[in-house]
Structure formats: structure tokens, C-alpha cells
Amino acid sequence: MGKKVALHNLGCKVNAYEVEAMQQLLEEAGYEIVPFAPGADIYVINTCTVTNIADRKSRQMLHKAKKMNPDAIVVAAGCYVQTDKEKLETDGQIDVILGNNRKREIVEVLEEYQQEKAGQERVININQTKEYEQLSINRTAEHVRAYIKVQDGCNQFCTYCIIPYARGRVRSRKKEDILKEIRSLAAKNYKEVVLTGIHLSSYGVDFPEGEKETLLSLIEEVHKVEGIRRIRLSSLESGIITEEFVKRISELPKLCPHFHLSLQSGSDSVLKRMNRRYTSQEYEERCGLLRKYYTDPALTTDIITGFPGETEEEFKETCRFAEKIRFYETHIFRYSKRRGTKAARMEGQIPEPIKAARSEILLKLDEQRRGEYEIRRMGEPLEVLLEEEIEKEGKAYYLGHSREYIKVAVEKKKEYQINDIVVVKGTGYLENHTVLGECLDN
């Protein structure tokens, strides 16, 4: 039996995809995958560095692994490695450091470490590479929905964000490799794919002339894959939303009417300090385009509150803008100072109690808008992919999501099973923001 490996992921969906890819490489090499608990021979932690808190959690998890088995090999991988390599090199709890664009070498680096019994390091200057790291998966832990990494890196350099320094410049995956992976997953009966990346809207900008692809051309090709019933897109920049883009995707019935357009602030002066490269009016116009071609699409977003220098009036501008756009769901983040970014050096850092108070106001607004959208869709046919079984008050239900990403519970019946797609009508709530659906005759 091979050595036991436990893997743990911190951070985004791209990180999660890379952990699954590393796990499958290790399994193919004969390693046994075990839970992240005492008893493993090797611990692989895919780290995150998006905030100072993420750095701290990454360090804590690395040290926790060593405590669970002092004789184990501890591997630090990913974004925190890229931004704080020197600190990890002197940390006696860590045996191997593996940067971004080197995760496919996980098996090789472990074998070298075990032969030489000496620390191993594989970290490149991520800002100098143009190579897309070839990782792939043949299954996913979600069972019915597969996240597909199609792009890495970011060229935007928002003033609050360290990610361009951790992930490097935009690097896009070849369309043929993406389609091959999706076809393989479709053959295993996966029905939904989510195209994801560090800056998804930039897909294809790095391809040479003559090989140009765009996110739009990629989506159109994925739409042709037999067996795939749904396509989702992860976070988009509003700039990609043009009349041509929306018109063409609206002609693709597999593409879900659920669009996450990153906002960050509804105040133009804050957007400028963030280096976000659009105005609130431009953002609003792009939401209008989506609503022109789709009937009541689910628009979701991110908002950072408490950005350096954010005045009470700028915060109120954000609140008014969020109410005006009527988002289905808003992810609220309190600004967290990230060492190494321009925003961390800005004057006017907002005290934590003010950030907390502003966050609460936005959360209440989000709660209200979510409820309004869900109630508005009650009684309308909702197509739901059944993802898991749950039990509530002695009754069994299937839980899934509609095309708009509304969470829906359907009473369990023998004619349905996980991974089925059913059409339901919302009749009320099972619990907060979980719509109770009644199956309609197909």
C-alpha cells in the first residue's frame, strides 16, 4: 500500500480545482488519499494569500499538519508560497514548498524529497512565465457539478489585491484541452460545468494572433458538448458585457441566466481609488444589457466596504446603487489590509467598528433583495439539478439549485435520484433561502 496523503484547500474555486488535480496525480502514482486528520504520512496544504488573515490561516494549517504527525512530510503549495517564500524557507515545520505553476510536479517533488531527505523547493518567478500549467481532473468531489479551470493570472492590479503577484500575468488554457476534459466529465454523467479562472473575462487575450479565442468563442464550443445540460460562468468583469456578447450567449440555452459581475463599490470615487476601470454608470448599463436579453436573470456581485478613505457619503452611494441594481445576492467583504498592495499604504484606513457597522447595513439590504427575488420566482417553473439528500423534521428531501442558482428542496420520491434535472414550482420555504419546490409533470 502506498503512503497516505491528506490534502487541504484554502481559498477559491481555482485552488479547489488544483487540489483535486493534485489528488488525482497522487492517486495515479499509488498514494492513498486519506482525510485531513492525524495518521497521514504526507500533508499537502494548498494555501491562500488574498488577505493577511488568509496568510495567517495558511500558516496555522501548515503547523497543524506537523502537530498531527511530527514525522510527516508537510507540503506548502500555492499562493502564500509565491508571496512569502522567504518566511516559509526558514519555517522548520515545512518540508516542501511548491509554488503556482508547479503543482503538476507534486509526485516528482515528493519522490525527490523521500530519496534525498532534504527540503525541496519548486517556486518560479510567477510574473515572468507565459506558460499555462497543464492540470486536469476526471472527476470532482461535487459529483454533479464540475468546476473547470480555463485561465490563470490577472493583469488588472486593483489597488487592494495581491493576486497578480501570487498568480502572475494572464495565461489561458488551450480550448482543445478544456473541451477534452469536459467531454470526459460528460461521459461520466456530469451535467453542469462552471467555467472558472483567476480573471475569467481575460480568457484568450494572451493567445498569439492566428490562434485567438475569447471567452465567448469558448462558451459557444462548450455548448456543443453532448451530455452537458448546463453551463455557468464564475465571476465576470462588467467590461465583457457588450451587446454582441449578451446577444450571442442569450442564444445558447444551456447557459444559465446567473451572472456574477464583480462591483466592489457603487461610488465612482472609491472605484477610482481601487483602480477598477469602470464607472457605476457603465456597470449599470451592462446590467441593463443582461436584463434586455434575459427575463429576470439572477445578478450577483461582491462589495468591499470600509475601503481606505471611504466616507459616509461614498458608503451611502454604494447602498443606493445596490438598491437600484436589485442584485439577487451580494457577497459583502470588509476591507482587509493586504501587505504589499497600494491600498495598504493609503491614508484614511477605516476603523474596524465602522467597517462592521457598514457591513451590517449591506447584509440587511442583501437579505431583503434575496427574498424579493425568490418570492418573485415563486410559482414560475424552475429547472433544478438534484445535488444531495437532506432530512428536515423527519422528512427526506433532495436539495439542488435552479438555473438562476436559487437553492431548492424537493420532497424525495423514488422516481427521482441525485443528478436528475426536474422542473418544479416554488410553493414556499423549507428554511431561510431554501425554496420548497413541487415537481411538475415533465
Domain boundaries, the chain: 4-122, 145-376, 381-439
Q: What is the DSSP string of 340-381?
A: TSTGGG-S-PPPHHHHHHHHHHHHHHHHHHHHHHHHHHTTSE
Grid cell, residue 329, equals 445576492
Pick the CATH number of 145-376 from 3.30.450.40, 3.30.70.1150, 3.80.30.20, 3.40.1550.10: 3.80.30.20
Q: Tell which residue, 392, 384, 391, 394, has the closest CA to residue 416.
A: 384
Q: What is the pLDDT of residue 143?
A: 81
What are residue 84's DSSP bridge partners? none
| Residues of the chain predicted below pLDDT 50 | none
Residues whose CB falls within 8 Å of the CB of residue 156, separated by 6 or more in sequence, listed in order: 164, 199, 237, 275, 277
Q: What is the pLDDT of residue 235?
A: 96
DSSP SS3 for 114 = helix
Q: What is the pLDDT of residue 141?
A: 82
Q: What is d(CA 314, CA 322) in angstroms, rounded to the nearest whole number?
A: 13
Q: Are 211 and 170 in contact (CB under 8 A)?
A: no
Architecture category of domain 381-439 in CATH: Beta Barrel (2.40)
The dihedral region occupied by 394, where left means phi > 0, alpha psi between -120 and 50, and beta the remainder, is left
pTM of the prediction? 0.94
| 133 residue type, one letter | E
For 298-318, letters b (16+ CB in 10 Å) and e give bbbbebbbbbbebeeebbebb
Grid cell, residue 5, equals 496523503
Q: What is d(CA 184, CA 179) in angstroms, rounded to the nearest whole number?
A: 8
What is the 8-class DSSP label of residue 261?
B
Q: What's the whole-number average pLDDT of the chain?
A: 95
Q: Are 147 and 235 in contact (CB under 8 A)?
A: no
Q: Is 98 exposed, middle or buried (0-12, 13-18, 19+ CB in 10 A)?
A: buried
| Beta strands 434-439; 421-431: pairing state | antiparallel
Q: What is the DSSP string of 161-205?
A: --HHHHH-S-EE--HHHHHHHHHHHHHTT--EEEEEESSGGGTTT
Q: Cα-atom radius of gyration of the chain, to the nearest Å? A: 23
Q: What is the pLDDT of residue 128?
A: 85
Task: Give per-residue pLDDT as tens, 388-416.
Answer: 999 998 999 999 999 999 999 999 988 89
Q: What is the pLDDT of residue 118?
A: 62
Give CA separation, 385 vs 213, 410, 416, 422, in Å.
Answer: 30, 10, 11, 7
Please list the alpha-helical segments (H only) found in 100-151.
Answer: 106-116
Question: What strand order describes the sheet that includes 96-98?
Answer: 32-33, 4-9, 42-47, 73-78, 96-98, 120-122
Residues whose CB falls within 8 Å of the CB of residue 250, separated by 6 or more in sequence, listed in order: 293, 294
Q: What is d(CA 301, CA 370) in angstroms, rounded to the nearest whole number?
A: 12
**Topology at the third CATH level for domain 4-122:** Rossmann fold (3.40.50)
Q: What is the pLDDT of residue 441?
A: 65
Q: Are 141 and 122 in contact (CB under 8 A)?
A: no
Give CA separation, 119 vs 56, 76, 79, 280, 425, in Å.
Answer: 22, 12, 19, 50, 58
